[in-house]
Structure 1
Amino acid sequence: MNVSSDRTTAKIGPLTLEDQGWLGLGPQHWNESQAVLAEHALRRSEGELSDQGALVFKTGKYTGRSPKDKFIVREPSSESEIDWGDVNAPFDPGRFDALHQRVLEHLQGREVWIQDSFGGTEPTHRLPIRVICERAYHALFAHQLFVRPTAEELAVHRPEFTIVAVPDFQAVPERDGTRSEVFILLNFARRLVLIGGTQYAGEIKKSVFSILNYLLPRQGVLSMHCSANVGEAGDVALFFGLSGTGKTTLSADPVRALIGDDEHGWGDDGVFNFEGGCYAKCIRLDRLNEPEIYEAIRFGTVLENVVLDPKTRVPDFADASLTENTRAAYPIESIPNHVSGGQGGHPSRIIFLTCDAFGVLPPLSRLTPEQAMYHFLSGYTAKVAGTELELGQEPSAVFSACFGAPFMTLPPNRYAALLGAKMRRHNVEAWLLNTGWTGGGYGQGRRIPLRQTRALVDAVLEGSIRDVSYAVDPIFGLAYPQACPGVLTEILDPRTTWPDPAAYDAQATRLAQLFRKNFTRFNEVEPAIQAAGPRLDS
């Protein structure tokens, strides 16, 4: 990845912490194995062991990402590229330098863990990174999630970005210019990320994703918030979706090999994983429905905010007393049917996942190319009561462009243009899969059973759904199948599942209006894409 002019210096040996200006640190633990990192974490009472040997950590006040505390330093080299706004909020360079100095002072004499790795499995486009942590747990997380170098690669590893995680350091907003004690600061000029005030390890993972979302599209590589798997015939499928829609669950398939569960690039030679591990939601994890993920939770796995029985140390995956956002981080090798090397060919099918808590969208819809662009830019899903404190009893519509707006540093149209061009070039099918509610919205209907969703996915990937009869939803214009092997016919048309069809019509109109309102910010897209959204009478 040509992000600097000195890439050839990788041949002269690794950069030390002193080379990077990190002086005066205490004991340094470099690139240790998962067993040694686990020992350090237990020695320091950072977490505890489950009955199967997974390490369980509680992240305190912050049990998820803090998107409002993420900033990008506004500096000349990247200023014109960034999609500035609420997601990519600007930060003053001078204040960054001052906070950087305070973080360095905080680390003086402290024990630190350093993990060198890569973001990306494809050699041409992978990004050498370094993660510096004051918690052994965070180093173990980085070891499991990122791409691990060989011994030969470590000998010449020169990080092009460094991520520093200091959860025990809290910012002072009045002094530091942050919103709270938490900060996630990306500085593209310094090639440095500072993370403080939060123990949630997902901030480390998503910081690397944000960096790749800035670098790769400028090289013609589409960076994507999606999972990917491949069939025996070499057919690659992508699953785009926000958290909770089923990316990890649906891509872990016993008859298809997993390329990756969350972040990928699509280049000239095909798809490649950004990571060397998986970060699965495990609330209400069930061995029967999600056997691959369940069996991956073993020694070395990092569990966040999972409640253990105090005597047996058996995880209670149904317990959401700490958060709905319980997580498991494990190497992709823990999934038996995975693609060694994390690469595949060009995809033949793309599935956009939405969890529609309004109970309006069909379980499965076939998209035209224009509809695919419309729904990619919309990035719709819905949150429900109980997942976030501020939500009430009604579902809340979420529109996250590219199914990953919090991590997309460039304008959404940059990613959409790349996706459209690649889909046309490789003749890719597009589908919209609703993993949400049927028979009514949240509180009245029920979640579409996972076995039914899997049957729909199987039909898409096998191609058996392509030639059945389709009907068209009159409001959303979506073509949905009228039959599918292994699927209850009555759930395919959402309107017929509601006890009161008039109530369905009112809810569908309401959601369509939300789609239309959201899409007004994309008024520069082609008229055909504009017209691919819901149809409302004027």
Structure 2
Amino acid sequence: MSLNAALKETLGLDGLEYRHDLGKDALFREALANDRGRIRADGPDDEPKAYETALGLEGPLVYYSDPSCTGRPVQDTFAVAWPEVEDKLWWKSDFQKFDPDHFGPLLERVAAHLNERGRHLYVQDVHCGWDPAYAVPYRFVGEYATHALFATNMFASGVDVADPESKRWTLLDVPSFHCDPERDGTLSARAVIIDMRNRVGLVLGRADYCGVVKKTMFTVMNYLLPEIGEMPMHCSANVGPRGDGAILFGLSGTGKTTLSADPERELIGDDEHAWTADGVSNFEGGCYAKLIDLDKAAEPVIAAALSMPGSVIENVPPLPDRPLAETDPQDLDLSDNAITENTRLSYPLAANPNVADGARGPHPETIVLLTADAFGVLPPVSILDTRDVMYHFVSGFTAKLAGTEVGVNEPKAAFSACFGAPFMAQKPSVYAEILAEKMKTHRARCILLNTGWSGGPHGVGKRISIQHTRALLNAALAGELDADKVGYDNHPIFNLAMPTACPGVPTEILNPRNTWEDKHAYDVQAEKLRDMFRENYRSKGFDALGIEAVM
């Protein structure tokens, strides 16, 4: 079927010009010439959205999303509640039901809007996943060349999928269409809607943050893979010189990207993966790195990618004393959060110096659940059995610093099921059960690795050194923390198995209570965090989902 016929059948588009599978240079030029929208809260809807730097075509594209959408619009994200999926999907505040009776008429209105405007659209055909056994053909259709360039960076190409038309997903991205909540059944003038039955995604209105193009498809994959008994994961992954694979789950700030970038190990990817019968493989063809306060010396790959042709810098403000066209991208102020804390850089996976062939690797020997405990009470490393894994996986805990008032350093607990709750389309227990089964089948070990504080909470104690964290991780990867190699103590409050020794790590820090001067204060703080875990378990209804409480 021709492209025109396919888009007419799938979306109702008719008589439009499609700029299909343009190269990165062409998309760069198209973005400068044609991408228009709002970039200031009080600005018009026809300002340029994309800009070049002093490097021109040999450097990055700088893009500004709508100021109301500098991250994913989670409160405006939906799935169509078709009867066949309604009981499977995990409905929550950032993934809500959309009335099927509203979806068809809304799609018709969007198509009519585009047909009447008669302007060209950009179409990029890519793949989500490098393994042909599960990879999904992904067709981006949208108004912005920047988004098409982003899709080209972030997804795989050249994957040989059998019968692609029967598996293809299509995303229609239309910033110029503003919803009418009363008429369209949305909550606001923008919406991100996933239709599992017809394999269509809609992104409408002021929802033009680039990450929507990526995370919408990740949510789809998180629905599709469990349907075939496979495991989608929000994690980084790498493989060691003896072919020993590892996956690292973790929320923002826990070290997922930093710890997976090991010069002694090949990188499979840093964010989204599948664990299937064939091993671990990346969903993506690129990286989407945070830029705020980037330490270029510590993150040289990201720093170099700032100047790469075809990369996309998102929402970093221009310098006050010169236009972007006269600015070297290395001179941009990456500490400037005037637009958002969530400044980003999209660049190809190949920019990394040591990528595993085909972005694929073996079954993992080691599973790492990362947390950064700012309460200062969790052990630096704990060994988890199957029950522990399922509990801590669905808990998805880390602790963030409050930072909202001067002098207030009380940490805040953050729980995100499966270390990516907003993107988990099915219920958390589905993923936990698949993870536990795969770990059993492939005899994978699991550790809970704490990259947070020791000797007291943030403001009193010190963050566990990266050297000690790497030593703990390396020991686990080498099997040196296995039961036949080292003894364990049981933490009486958290019921966690703590190794009594680890090469390169002072023995006294392995039990966190030893690092606190005031032991009673430690016990009080630990019980406080334990009760937060218990309340999260209760409030999320994990017991009813078959997850056993372990603390």
TM-score (norm 1): 0.88
d(CA) in 1 for partners of 2:303 and 2:399?
26
Is structure 2 residue 503 aligned with structure 1 residue 494? Answer: no
Indicate the residue corresponding to 2:37 in structure 1. none
Give, in whole Å, the separation in 2 of the partners of 1:481 and 1:326: 39
Does the 8 Å contact 1:25/1:111 carry over to 2? Answer: no
For residue 77 of structure 1, give the secondary structure of its aligned residue in structure 2. Answer: helix
Q: Which residue of 2 aligns with 1:375?
A: 392
Amino acid at match of 1:33: G
Give the conservation status (yes or no) of the 8 Å contact 2:305–2:351: yes
Partner of 2:179: 171
Q: Is the Cα–Cα contact under 8 Å of residues 76 and 94 in structure 2 kept in the other structure?
A: no
In structure 1, C-alpha distance between the alignment counterparts of 2:232 and 2:401, rounded to whole Å: 28
Cα separation, 2, equivalents of 1:181 and 1:382: 34
Retained in 2: the 8 A contact 1:244–1:281?
no
What CA distance in whole angstroms lies between the structure 1 residues aligned with 2:481 and 2:439?
20
Deviation at 1:486, TM superposition (A): 4.3
More deviation in 49-58 or 116-125? 49-58
Secondary structure in 1 matching 2:358: coil
Q: Residue 126 of structure 1 aligns to which amino acid in structure 2?
A: A
Q: 2:33 aligns with which of 43, 46, 51?
A: 43
- Residue 225 of structure 1 aligns with an amino acid whose one-letter code is H
State the 1:495 CA deviation.
3.0
CA spacing shift, 1:109–1:283, aligned 2, 3 Å: same
Partners of 1:399 and 1:204 lie apart in 2 by 25
What does 1:189-268 align with in structure 2 at a 5 Å threshold? Answer: 189-196=197-204, 197-268=206-277
How many residues align? The count is 516
Secondary structure in 1 matching 2:10: coil
Tell me how far apart the structure 1 counterparts of residues 12 and 468 of structure 2 sit (CA, whole Å): 53
Inter-partner Cα distance in structure 2 for 1:132 and 1:262: 24
Which residue of structure 2 aligns with residue 432 of structure 1? 448
**Among candidates 87, 90, 93, match of residue 83 of structure 1:** 90
Inter-partner Cα distance in structure 2 for 1:42 and 1:341: 32
Partner of 2:431: 415
Q: CA RMSD in A?
A: 2.7
| The one of 317, 332, 352 aligned to 2:369 | 352
For residue 488 of structure 1, report the CA deviation from its aligned partner.
5.4
In structure 2, C-alpha distance between the alignment counterparts of 1:491 and 1:199, rounded to whole Å: 46
Instruction: Indicate whether 1:55 and 2:61 are aligned.
Output: yes
In 1, Cα distance between the equivalents of 2:70 and 2:182?
25
Q: Secondary structure at the match of 2:19?
A: strand
Task: Provide the residue aligned with 1:7 in structure 2.
Answer: none
CA contact (8 A) 1:356 1:381 kept: yes
Question: In structure 2, what is the Cα distance between the partners aligned to 1:429 and 1:476?
Answer: 19
Q: Does structure 1 residue 182 correspond to structure 2 residue 213? A: no
Quick one: structure 1 residues 330 and 42, their matched pair in 2 at CA, closer, same or farther if it must change by over 3 Å? same
**Aligned counterpart for 2:295 among listed residues 255, 262, 286:** 286
Code of the aligned partner of 1:142:
A
Q: 1:8 matched to which residue of 2?
A: none
| CA displacement at 1:333 relative to structure 2 | 0.7
* Counterpart Cα distance in 1 of 2:348 and 2:419: 24
Quote the offset at 1:375 in angstroms. 0.5
Report what 1:366 is aligned to: 383
Q: Which amino acid aligns with 1:68?
A: Q
User: Which of 490, 493, 509 is the matching residue for 2:527?
Assistant: 509
Alignment-derived partner of residue 5 in structure 1: none
Unaligned segments of structure 1, at least 5 residues: 1-11, 534-538
Output one character per residue of 1:287-341: Cα deviation in whole Å (capped at 9) or x when no partner: 3322333333322222222344354442323333332222221111111100131
Match of 1:303 among 304, 313, 330: 313
- Residue 125 of structure 1 and its aligned partner are, at CA, apart by 0.8
Q: Indicate if the aligned counterparts of 2:235 and 2:272 stay in contact, CA closer than 8 A.
A: yes
Structure 1, residues 387-445: CA drift from partner, whole Å, max 9, x if none? 9x9xx964332222211221111121111111111111111000111223334334444
For residue 313 of structure 2, what is the amino acid of its counterpart? L
Matched, 1:335 2:325: no
Residue range with higher mean Cα deviation, 170-179 or 418-427:
170-179
- 1:524–1:153: structure 2 CA closer, same or farther, 3 Å change rule? closer
Q: Return the alpha-carbon distance in structure 2 between the equivalents of residues 376 and 156 of structure 1.
A: 33
The SS at the match of 1:211 is: helix
Counterpart Cα distance in 2 of 1:187 and 1:393: 43
1:394–1:203 CA distance, 2 compared to 1 (3 A): farther
Give the CA deviation at 1:200.
1.0
Q: Evaluate the alpha carbon distance shift between residue 384 and residue 214 of structure 1 in structure 2; reply closer, same or farther with a 3 A threshold.
A: same
Shift in CA distance, 219/154, structure 1 to aligned 2, threshold 3 Å: closer
AA of the residue aligned to 2:61: L
Counterpart Cα distance in 2 of 1:488 and 1:290 = 28
The 1:316–1:173 alpha-carbon spacing in structure 2 relative to 1, beyond 3 Å, is: same
CA positional deviation for 1:283:
2.3
How many Å apart are 1:505 and its aligned residue? 2.2
After TM superposition, list the pairs within 5 Å mapping 1:436-451 onto structure 2: 436-451=452-467
Matches within 5 A, 1:60-209: 60-107=67-114, 108-149=117-158, 160-196=168-204, 197-209=206-218
Partner residue in 2 for 1:273: 282
Query: C-alpha displacement at 1:356, in angstroms?
Result: 2.0
Match for residue 477 of structure 1? 495
Q: Structure 1's 462 and 305: CA in aligned 2 closer, same or farther, altered over 3 A?
A: farther
* Native 8 Å contact 1:116 1:157 kept in 2: no
Return 488-497 or 457-466, whichever deviates more: 488-497
1:68 is displaced (CA, Å) by 1.8
Stretch moving more, 486-495 or 456-465: 486-495
In the alignment, structure 2 segments of 5+ residues that lack a partner are: 35-47
SS of the aligned residue for 2:471 comes to helix
**SS in structure 1 of the partner of residue 7 of structure 2:** coil
Q: 1:158 to 1:49 in 2, by over 3 A?
A: farther
TM-fit CA distance, 1:162:
0.7
Structure 1: distance between partners of 2:145 and 2:456: 46
Residues 105-125 of structure 1: per-residue CA shift (max 9 Å, x gap): 332322321111111111121
**Identity %, equivalent residues:** 47
| 8 Å Cα contact 1:252/1:292 also seen in 2 | no
Query: Which range moved further: 352-361 or 444-453?
Result: 444-453
Among candidates 458, 465, 481, match of residue 474 of structure 2:
458
Amino acid at match of 2:183: R
TM-score, with normalisation over the residues of structure 2?
A: 0.86
Distance 1:413 1:158, change over 3 A: closer
Structure 2 contact 137–164 (Cα < 8 Å) conserved:
no
Q: Is the contact made by 2:133 and 2:161 (CA closer than 8 Å) also made in structure 1?
A: no
Instruction: Give, in angstroms, the shift of residue 137 of structure 1.
Output: 1.0
Stretch of structure 1 that moved more, 35-44 or 168-177: 168-177
- SS of corresponding position for 1:78: helix
Give the partner amino acid of 1:175: R
